[in-house]
Amino acid sequence: MIKSGFSYLKWTAVVAVLALTVIAGVRPSTATKQPPATAVSGADLANEERALAKYFDDLVTYNHQTTQLSKKASITLAEIDPLQRRSDDLKGRLSGLQNVIREIVVKLKKADEWNNLDASVVDPNFRSFSQQISFKDLLEESSNSLTSHGSEISTPLDNLRKKLTSRYGDGAEVQFVRAAYVTPAPVKFISLGCTIGGIRWKLINKLGGVATDKTADQVSCACGNSTGIGTGTPCSQVN
């Protein structure tokens, strides 16, 4: 009986050792299931995407408000002034945004990703869009000349102010301006909004994401579509 008890204790000890060995072996495999903080390979462009997103959203809002004002039967200087402040702000931030795009180019080249920017597309809406516009072309052009398109921001307000001024001149009675809305012609040359929105969308895809339908609508409308590519909403209703 003493020998049997000793054998039982010895076997219990062996089992305990084996259990500890199994636990020790399991812990590392469990840890590897947690993605490391640096799991995403390639250039880290998250900050640049956020900067582009902020500017593009502000530009879309400004353009929508300007368009809505131009549709009104009558407008006043008091209605133009807040939009003038938005216009000045957007123009003032344009040089900083150009520097952001230059940084994107530098990072992509350092990561050896410059030559294959459109190789992998996961977003079907983006695939349709990317066939029309080259990511490299957008980046190269805007990194050098984005600030030269600042007049696109102020032109709509400049035109409205000219109409107001013409009404006040030559002793004419002060009155409201009847501003007729004219549908813009399809763009043949990439606009400021199309360029910034296009780069933002391509960065979202580059980072492994899929743009929201709202973003897809905004970018495609900025690039001259009559309806948003995300939802099919008429561009006149996209903001």
* Three-state helix/strand/coil letters over the chain: CHHHHHHHHHHHHHHHHHHHHHHHHHHHHHHCCCCCCCCCCCCCCHHHHHHHHHHHHHHHHHHHHHHHHHHCCCECHHHHHHHHHHHHHHHHHHHHHHHHHHHHHHHHHHCCCHHHCCCCCCCHHHHHHHCCCCHHHHHHHHHHHHHHHCHHHHHHHHHHHHHHHHHHCCCCCCCCECCCCCCCCCCCCCCHHHHHHHHHHHHHHHCCCCCCHHHHHHHHHHCCCCECCCCCCEHHHCC
Question: 34 to each of 26, 30, 43, 232, how far by Cα in Å?
Answer: 14, 8, 22, 40
**How far does CA 187 lie from the centroid of its chain?**
20
- pLDDT < 70: residue spans in the chain: 1-41, 118-122, 127-132, 163, 165-189
Query: pLDDT tens across 129-165, in order?
Result: 666 677 888 899 899 999 999 999 999 888 778 767 6
The tens digit of pLDDT for each residue in 158-193 reads 877 876 765 555 444 434 444 443 343 333 347 899
pLDDT score recorded for residue 191: 87
**Domain spans of the chain, in order of start:** 46-237
Which pLDDT value is given to residue 129?
Answer: 67
pLDDT at res. 45: 94
Cα–Cα separations (whole angstroms), residue 59 to 13, 48, 53, 82, 228: 72, 17, 10, 14, 17
